Amino acid sequence: MLRIVKERLHQKYRTLDYPRKDPTLSSRYLGRPVLESVHCGTCHACYAACPTGALLPAPGSEDRTPILDMGSCTFCGACRRVCPNKAFVFTGEHRMASFLREGLIVAPGTVPEAQELPEKCRMFRRSLKLRQVSAGGCNACEADCNVLGTLVYDLGRFGIDFVASPRHADALLVTGPVSDNMRRALLDTWQAMPEPRLVIAVGSCAVSGGLFGDSAQCHGGVASVLPVDMFIPGCPPNPWTILDGLLALQGVQSPQR
């Protein structure tokens, strides 16, 4: 027993005081993109390099920096590497969750705007129970959801917990592109949940289908099957990005557009 107490004193307090204190992230973490408005001319290198088609021409400005859809983006950084004009800058910012699908669209020269907490989320300010469903995911997003239960993140201190039964859940947290063989299971889980109920799409696959968006065996993300209340982009999202999105549902954080 004394050895346990001694080791505990040596380890000290390892849970980060989030959200009052921001996490220190790896220098390799790209984070939220910011786009500079530049003249591209006939250069289409970024379009060719993007593996998911996350870049789209800006309306009426096809010869300038395209817009970027974070919901489809895998944050591979290919666009940044091939752009001769350095139009793509990844800020390392982990706050990227959005109540709105259009809130994941990044246009050149724009800054994110704060979003208001939807009325249906207000009753979950003190307690939020999650039922997680992997709808054809590769287990990367699932692993980053699981790690939130460790002592560094300590999800339970916010009144947020994963539950085994959908009948005990307030929100359905979905990862994966919703493959054909998981569509029925996803709907059954949703129907078993008591109202009011929320849906959270975690990862680019769940938001848009990601790398599998054009597959005939997938449904292009959760929104094609269920109404989504929170979109958390990334491939996979950083655990802090997921936690930030969950806290936004409780009104602790203000998601940005």
In a domain, 239, yes or no: yes
Task: Point out the least confidently predicted range of 70-79, 105-114, 159-168, 182-191.
Answer: 105-114
- 20 domain-assigned: no
Other residues' Cβ atoms within 10 Å of the Cβ of residue 37:
14
Residue 151 is assigned to a structural domain of this protein:
yes
pLDDT at 257 over 50: no
What CATH number does residue 195 fall under? 3.40.50.12280
pLDDT of 110 reads: 82
Does 190 reside within a domain? yes
Local structure of 81: helix, strand or coil:
helix
Q: Are strands 105-106 and 67-69 parallel, antiparallel or unpaired?
A: antiparallel
State pLDDT tens for residues 99-155.
Answer: 999 999 999 988 777 788 999 999 999 999 999 999 999 999 999 999 999 989 999
Q: Tokens in use for 56? A: 């789209």
pLDDT at 1 over 90: no
Give the per-residue pLDDT at 256.
Answer: 56
* Whether 119 contacts 127, CB under 8 Å: no
pTM of the model as a whole: 0.91
Residue 65 counted as domain residue: no
Q: List the one residue out of 123, 114, 250, 251 whose CA is nearest residue 196.
A: 123
Task: Domain of residue 160: give its range.
Answer: 119-249
Number of domains in the chain: 1
Domain annotation covers residue 114? no
Residue 90 lies in a domain: no
How far the first Cα of the chain sits from its last, in Å, is 50
Residue 174 φ then ψ, to 5°? -115, 135
